[in-house]
Structure 1
Amino acid sequence: MLRFYAVFVYIYFRNLIVMNQLSIKSFGLVLFFLLNAGVMSAQYKQTVVNKTQLLFNKNHMIPVGRLDEIKIAVVTPNPEKYKTFIQQIGRYSDIVSFDFSKFDEDTKYFNTIIVGGMESDLNQEMLYMLKQSLVNRKNIILCRFQDVGKNLPQWSPLLGGRIAELGYPSFSDVAQRNMAMSIFGGLAITEGNISNRTEQTRLQYTQGEGSGLNIAKMAQKIDLIANEAIREKAAPGMVVMAVKNGQVLFEKAYGTHTYEKTIPTVISDIFDLASVSKIAGTTPVIMHLQEKGVINLDSTMGHYLWQAKGSNKADITLRTVLLHEAGFAPYIPFYRSLKPGDIQKTYSDTHQTKLADNAYLINHYYRDVMWPEMLKSSVKPIGEYVYSDISMYVMKEVAEHETAIPMDEYVQQILYRPIGMKTAGYNPREHFDKRQIVPTEHDTSFRKVLLEGYVHDQGAAMAGGVAGHAGLFSTANDLAIYGQLLLNRGEYGGVRYFKPETVDMFTSKQSKTSRRGLGFDRADPNPKNEYPSRLANISVFGHTGYTGTCIWIDPKNQLTYIFLSNRVHPQVSNKLSDLSIRGRMLDAIYETINEAK
């Protein structure tokens, strides 16, 4: 379809040239757009047969849009029987699951109730319960699976009101999976009444089904590389994920949290992302503020920050900061300047910044010591690329001064909660069980404890766990959602969060002296450097993290690749890079794609 329109538009504009109504230069711009249209826009490709039908869709509830506006309870007659359905819904949103035994009380504090069941399991009393929920102004999404040889009664006309109803002509794990994905736009609904058909708007969890790619061969290659990494002690465990055309091709966990092998790594584990925080935490905040006109990237640090006005950084523009061309020092080891008494083992009125288990920093150390030291630090000539963590400390300060909201809460408001990034955030020990968070280094010099759910980066820890350059934790799935948002050029779940031109500007090459975009790293244009991998192309953007993480996004192939590990456990090791584990896995994915062409 895209090619058809491209040809049509090409002929139209060519005729305008013939009639002297369009310049050759303008035509060149049109032609460039046409040639790159497939690269610049998301290309969801549904290769899975989805037999779900949307029978009734009051207020266009399906597919579900913003997730921060709803609180979901999933109710089934038997949670064990409908386990696949419940778990698949949980990939998209925070949910709580109940049966019908205490329906009224259990669902009281939820505004959206997803009910799933076979006709033989859903009785008249349950119908009356749903009617009451409608009276209580709740949204009902009724999902009915057909018993073999039976026709389901049409309940929707009886219920009316705030309800959507979906049906599936059978009951199985596949039926449950597809029904759940259909609710959230993970699968397009292509069956039934044409007016009730939908498009894919979110990730599709079908493991490459129907993709035409040899997933088994690709998995075998990745397995060998992962096993090598663990055997060579490049990292005790890892999670690898690949998404193409909005479809999850590969998602697998390897190894264990530590070399003691007591806790196996699972795909839902939360990792310290290190410098991936720069592009998945701070940069989307800056993108949002820039396109809303709150900040101007060509204005200076002195314009936005009072304390910077009298410094040697007053006239440095935000654009220069984002490009790592501001001449900042690469890194300041603040923890080496701590004095006796600055850290103690117990919480007190004077020591409230928690660095790790049994480690508390004296109050306001970031405000009174770290930030002033950054502002006073030396600056080299502007324009040369020098990768610096200070750059993102600066951008966080700018964002918080302009919004009057802590950055960790602001990014939740504008992005994470609306699109369903359920685990992404800072200071995860405040929200998640320790066993769900993969530990990093056994810190023997600073905090003197195994870091479990506390940021590895010393400066970020001393800043309270929230910094512009580090501090973000996430699962692979949440990063995949973010990657798809960027491939969609700012849209996800049927809702636009960024203008396409904003995503294009930040992720494309913006520097005259380096490969960098604004905040984002990019593939090295010199193929000899094989960065981020031997087969990566120049459209690729993303970032790596010191703890052994990366996300690379490839618009040309509509691909997102994620690798999460704790290569710094129990002590920092360079074997992950020496063995090129991340790059070789990405090449295994590219080889699979290229073989199918």
Structure 2
Amino acid sequence: MSLKKTLPYILLLLFSTVTIAQQSYPLYSADIEAQKTWVDSVYNAMSQKERVGQLFMVDILSSDPKSKVDKVRRLIKEQHIGGVIFSKGGPMRQAKLNNEFQALSKVPLMVGMDAEWGLAMRLDSTYAFPWNMTLGAIQDNKIVERVGRQIGLHCKRLGVHINFGPVVDININPANPIIGNRSFGEDKVNVTEKAIAFMTGMQGAGVLGSAKHFPGHGDTDKDSHKTLPTLDFTRERLNNIEMYPYKPIIQEGIASVMIAHLNVPKLVPEKGYPTSISPTVVTKILKDSLKFHGLIFTDALNMKGAANFQSPGDIDLAAFKAGNDILLISEDVPSASAKILEAINKGEITQERLAHSVKKILYAKYKVGLNNYEPVITENLVDNLNTRLDDIVYSQAIENAITITKNAGQILPVKNIDEKKIAYVGLGDDSGDAFVSQMQKYANVTSVKVNDTIGISKKLEPYNYVVVGFHRSNDNPWKSYGFSAKERLILETIASQKDVVLDLFVRPYAMLDLDSTASIEGIIHSYQNSKIAQEKSAQLIFGAIPSKGKLPVSLKTSKAGDGFESGTLRRLQYGIPEEVGINSDTLNKKIDSLVKIGLSRAMMPGAQILVARKGKVVFEKAYGYHTYNKKEKVNLNDVYDVASMTKILATLPLLMELRSQGSISLDNTLGELMPEMKGTNKSKITLKKALSHYAQFKAWIPFYLKTLDSVTKKPSKEYYRKSYSSDFNVKVADEMYLRSDYPDSIIRFIGESDLRDRLSYKYSDLPYYLMKKYLEDYYGKNLDDLTAQRFYNPIGATRTGYRPLNKFRKKDIVPSENDTYWRNQKVQGYVHDMGAAMQSNMGGHAGLFSNANDVAKMMQMFLQNGYYGGKRFISKETLEEFNTCNYCDENVRRGVGFDKPQLSGSGPTCGCVPMTSFGHSGFTGTYTWADPENELVYVFLSNRTFPTMENRKLVSSGLRTQIQEAIYKSIID
């Protein structure tokens, strides 16, 4: 075989050899020879005291007073310590101290931190990732690896070289006061797999990991910070449970192990010795039996589990003799250093033993890049430690962790939403606001205050589905997590009367406080009370995301590994742009900039904008005010008059439903569908042509003009009254009632109207007047009731409907115009369109009010071929039929009801959308568009007609389609 052919095999062999060496000797770098040369040169240049100094890592808080900082400065200069472990404070302060300390040190310092769930474990202004117990519920270990990587990247950015994690303790004891949520759980295999994944991610980012607390701190109810816990188990049990994770994680290349301060009689022959200073534990078991060649740290030597044993200095000496490499947080470095030097001089410690540890430390320093030390850059530091990618990783972790452990009667996810009257009851001492707010995006969820059992029955009487959220502080995993006696009683009382879903935003062990869960239908473990956890849990409850998590610990009625996997009902999700291939910076900046222009140029007083992709809302924002007086800010729950978008959000869905059922055909003529059209010039017009605006209809008829006094140009008394009566029962506006027979006259006027001379494209409202009449006659109900019952209620469009004053507070309804030509009042809560107003504010072409979120639900239903929330509304074939441009050859771009992209020149879109896309715009300044190919929904709502519809700046500027173009430019996949 030629050299050319054998070279790849040789390289593969060398690579495999290096990889195996790096796993067996985890402190080795890829350039081992260069590393060894650097280590030897640094070691040989050191004095004996400097070498001993490398063994010490001292603690410092970046918030410490000058006296404590000065002490560390002296230890660096006088004792030549090898490293520092930073604790509480802030990232900027730490970075500056770090740079100062490094500048003082002859050999670069190794910087460590306890950042088990990220730098936020110790520092303000930094990111808190999920706790290990939460990660323990995740079934996809790649997600845990991503969390570890992000934490590693944060550490590296702040100049931290070793993170004392992952915790590999098997938390069998629920009463464990110090581990608990810091553990991945009670199952040894799951803990080991999660720890390896976490380590792989973190060390892959260039930060050393540390498995702790050897030999295992999980099954104890004592805190080694305060005392010396005892683990009085057999050696077989210890090997099988407590020490189980160490062999696999060592084989996978963990860089260091931290020794706990524990009393373990079956492992420690030295009576009364904590494990941290036992040669048997450190050397014979960890180094010899488990063949660990990485760094060995003591746990903090100022902890009572160690400090109570011997005086400062003695404990350090004993720990070093036992086989530890780094003495963490010594209480007296000068004394300890002197005693170790004395022991070396006496021959109690050999030079080889000292070199063994010091060189390992130097190997580690080289591996993390300290051979080419650079100061921490403080510019943009806080921003770099709080990124959108962090949110994505956190969000993905939480979504995959949330666990359903009880689902009696398939109470989860919420189905048949229109049949549910949902209440939320909050327990605990922390906020559940984000949880409630997210649930309210899916349904009418009422927050009910319950402080005790008095009056519960009456308060919850209207509801048939109760979500109880149990919220406690998310600050750290040691916070209180249990139910109080009063909370238990409240929960028991509610569950005895109602269908209940209990959602716990705390560690799972809280369930141990409950005597019984028999009367609770659904139990969800959301693990943490963060905003993202609350939002994701709400999405799971309503079937937007599936349930994937498995319980990491055992409870009274559930065991580790339990968890119901649920599918989705394909309701809208809510998340982060990057999760669906959109650049959030581009999206946010561009839309904000364009809207700012629109507001500053008085194109509209305010707006709501929403963007969803792949079934996930990733941009939802309210801008400006209801009017130019700037008194009422636009809120996401405010409703707008969507004008002609009514056509595709109300009338068209009802027609498509009938078509799906085979009740109508697009080839049906108006004469076949409506007796009123028989014998008229509209009789033979097909539904397809009418709805495609290719039927010679006039654009519109100003019906209201016929009702004005010919002299005063004011509403004629022949047609209007200020108060309701049986003869004047059509409410047009405040104190304005139209004659009862006039709506029928409108249909007659349309039937009698002339057709345009030439068959060509002409957008017209008139067919939708007729479709309103047809649908209401067919069902025997008005459009308001029809659309609510058949679409809006089932999909949870709770902010959508005709005649909004009957449904919403007036202050939540954005006004449309100051009408000075007919109604002579501010139009607020009444439809702007005059013809629709004359039909009891309920037209087939206009009259609908909605917010952006609800419009998106309808558009998403269309994108999903008529399916939403677990229900099929319209067949796929029907959607395709109505979303077809039947007369493109005749220069008619429209589908059947839906607007479509322009065929040439300017048009209703940015020109950057595919021809399969569809949507509609509204006269009042509204717009929505859906793109099946890119799975995109865009909603823009405004009241550009306020105070006058003569303001056409929004229309002429093309702002709505400029925003559409910005959305497409933000797509990065």
In 2, Cα distance between the equivalents of 1:464 and 1:409? 13
In 1, Cα distance between the equivalents of 2:681 and 2:742? 22
In 2, Cα distance between the equivalents of 1:121 and 1:521? 56
Report the identity percentage: 33
Aligned positions of 1:408-419 closer than 5 A: 408-419=784-795
Encode CA deviations 1:395-439: one digit per residue, 9 max, x unaligned: 111212211111221111111000100011111012111110111
In 2, Cα distance between the equivalents of 1:531 and 1:98? 45
Matched, 1:332 2:701: yes
Amino acid at match of 1:240: I
Matched, 1:520 2:926: no
In 1, Cα distance between the equivalents of 2:482 and 2:834? 55
> Which of the residues 682, 688, 709 maps onto 1:313?
682
Alpha-carbon RMSD across the aligned residues, in angstroms, is 2.3
Question: Against the structure 1 CA distance between its residues 300 and 486, is the aligned structure 2 distance closer, same or farther, given a 3 Å change threshold?
Answer: same
Structure 2 residue aligned with 1:561: 938
Structure 1 residue aligned with 2:960: 582
Offset of 1:108 from its aligned partner? 1.5
Matched, 1:52 2:402: yes
Question: Against the structure 1 CA distance between its residues 516 and 154, is the aligned structure 2 distance closer, same or farther, given a 3 Å change threshold?
Answer: farther
> Which region of structure 1 is more displaced relative to structure 2, 60-69 or 237-246?
60-69
In 2, Cα distance between the equivalents of 1:580 and 1:296? 36
In 1, Cα distance between the equivalents of 2:909 and 2:483? 53
Q: 3-state SS of the aligned residue for 2:516?
A: helix
> Which of the residues 423, 432, 439 maps onto 2:808?
432
Conserved in 1, the CA contact under 8 Å of 2:456 and 2:494? no
In 2, Cα distance between the equivalents of 1:145 and 1:557? 35
In 1, Cα distance between the equivalents of 2:801 and 2:429? 30
Structure 2 residue aligned with 1:34: none
Aligned positions of 1:29-68 closer than 5 A: 48-49=396-397, 50=399, 51-68=401-418
Conserved in 1, the CA contact under 8 Å of 2:403 and 2:524? yes
Structure 2 residue aligned with 1:182: 540
Structure 1 residue aligned with 2:630: 261
Structure 1 residue aligned with 2:825: 449
Q: 3-state SS of the aligned residue for 1:48?
A: helix
Question: Against the structure 1 CA distance between its residues 158 and 350, is the aligned structure 2 distance closer, same or farther, given a 3 Å change threshold?
Answer: same
Matched, 1:361 2:709: no
Conserved in 1, the CA contact under 8 Å of 2:407 and 2:564? no
In 2, Cα distance between the equivalents of 1:437 and 1:297? 36
In 2, Cα distance between the equivalents of 1:381 and 1:139? 64
Amino acid at match of 1:462: M
> Which of the residues 93, 97, 100 maps onto 2:443?
93
Structure 1 residue aligned with 2:499: 139
> Which region of structure 1 is more displaced relative to structure 2, 199-208 or 537-546?
199-208
> Which of the residues 472, 484, 493 maps onto 2:869?
493
- Residue ranges of structure 2 left out of the alignment (5+ in a row): 1-393, 473-480, 551-561, 710-715
Q: Tell me how many residue pairs correspond in the alignment.
A: 545
Amino acid at match of 1:168: S
> Which of the residues 585, 590, 595 maps onto 1:216?
585
Offset of 1:133 from its aligned partner? 4.8
Conserved in 1, the CA contact under 8 Å of 2:901 and 2:914? yes
Structure 1 residue aligned with 2:197: none
Offset of 1:385 from its aligned partner? 2.1
In 2, Cα distance between the equivalents of 1:472 and 1:171? 38
Offset of 1:196 from its aligned partner? 2.1
Matched, 1:73 2:423: yes
In 2, Cα distance between the equivalents of 1:230 and 1:402? 44
Matched, 1:483 2:849: no
Conserved in 2, the CA contact under 8 Å of 1:79 and 1:86? no
In 1, Cα distance between the equivalents of 2:616 and 2:720? 48
Encode CA deviations 1:150-197: one digit per residue, 9 max, x unaligned: 723268993336711100222222221221111112333222146424
Q: 3-state SS of the aligned residue for 2:509?
A: coil
Offset of 1:269 from its aligned partner? 1.2
Conserved in 1, the CA contact under 8 Å of 2:403 and 2:564? no
Amino acid at match of 1:465: N
Conserved in 2, the CA contact under 8 Å of 1:118 and 1:171? yes
- Residue ranges of structure 1 left out of the alignment (5+ in a row): 1-45
In 2, Cα distance between the equivalents of 1:510 and 1:132? 61
> Which of the residues 498, 511, 521 maps onto 1:153?
511
Offset of 1:124 from its aligned partner? 5.0
Offset of 1:72 from its aligned partner? 0.4
Conserved in 2, the CA contact under 8 Å of 1:100 and 1:126? no
> Which region of structure 1 is more displaced relative to structure 2, 250-259 or 75-84?
75-84
Question: Against the structure 1 CA distance between its residues 325 and 239, is the aligned structure 2 distance closer, same or farther, given a 3 Å change threshold?
Answer: same
> Which of the residues 210, 227, 233 maps onto 2:596?
227
Q: 3-state SS of the aligned residue for 1:73?
A: strand
Offset of 1:290 from its aligned partner? 1.5
Aligned positions of 1:262-411 closer than 5 A: 262-338=631-707, 339=709, 340-341=716-717, 342-367=719-744, 369-380=745-756, 384-411=760-787
Conserved in 2, the CA contact under 8 Å of 1:47 and 1:211? no
Structure 2 residue aligned with 1:42: none
Conserved in 2, the CA contact under 8 Å of 1:392 and 1:469? yes
Conserved in 1, the CA contact under 8 Å of 2:643 and 2:848? yes
> Which of the residues 88, 109, 112 maps onto 2:465?
112
Q: 3-state SS of the aligned residue for 1:153?
A: helix
> Which of the residues 920, 945, 956 maps onto 1:543?
920
Matched, 1:531 2:908: yes
Amino acid at match of 1:105: K
Q: 3-state SS of the aligned residue for 1:251?
A: strand
The structure with higher relative contact order (CA 8 Å, sep 6+) is 1
Conserved in 2, the CA contact under 8 Å of 1:77 and 1:121? no
In 1, Cα distance between the equivalents of 2:418 and 2:746? 35
Encode CA deviations 1:521-548: one digit per residue, 9 max, x unaligned: 111132x325311322212100000000
In 2, Cα distance between the equivalents of 1:103 and 1:78? 17
Q: 3-state SS of the aligned residue for 2:577?
A: coil
Encode CA deviations 1:502-557: one digit per residue, 9 max, x unaligned: 1121123233431111111111132x325311322212100000000011001111
> Which of the residues 504, 518, 522 maps onto 2:880?
504
Q: 3-state SS of the aligned residue for 1:226?
A: helix
Question: Against the structure 1 CA distance between its residues 329 and 48, is the aligned structure 2 distance closer, same or farther, given a 3 Å change threshold?
Answer: same
Amino acid at match of 1:114: V
In 1, Cα distance between the equivalents of 2:471 and 2:818? 51
In 1, Cα distance between the equivalents of 2:819 and 2:548? 54
Conserved in 2, the CA contact under 8 Å of 1:79 and 1:98? no
Q: 3-state SS of the aligned residue for 2:620?
A: strand
In 1, Cα distance between the equivalents of 2:428 and 2:512? 22
Conserved in 2, the CA contact under 8 Å of 1:156 and 1:163? no
Question: Against the structure 1 CA distance between its residues 161 and 151, is the aligned structure 2 distance closer, same or farther, given a 3 Å change threshold?
Answer: closer
Offset of 1:125 from its aligned partner? 5.2
Amino acid at match of 1:578: S
In 2, Cα distance between the equivalents of 1:571 and 1:181? 40
In 2, Cα distance between the equivalents of 1:154 and 1:198? 28
In 1, Cα distance between the equivalents of 2:684 and 2:581? 54
Offset of 1:90 from its aligned partner? 1.0
Q: 3-state SS of the aligned residue for 1:240?
A: strand
Conserved in 2, the CA contact under 8 Å of 1:291 and 1:499? yes
Q: 3-state SS of the aligned residue for 2:470?
A: strand
In 1, Cα distance between the equivalents of 2:938 and 2:429? 33
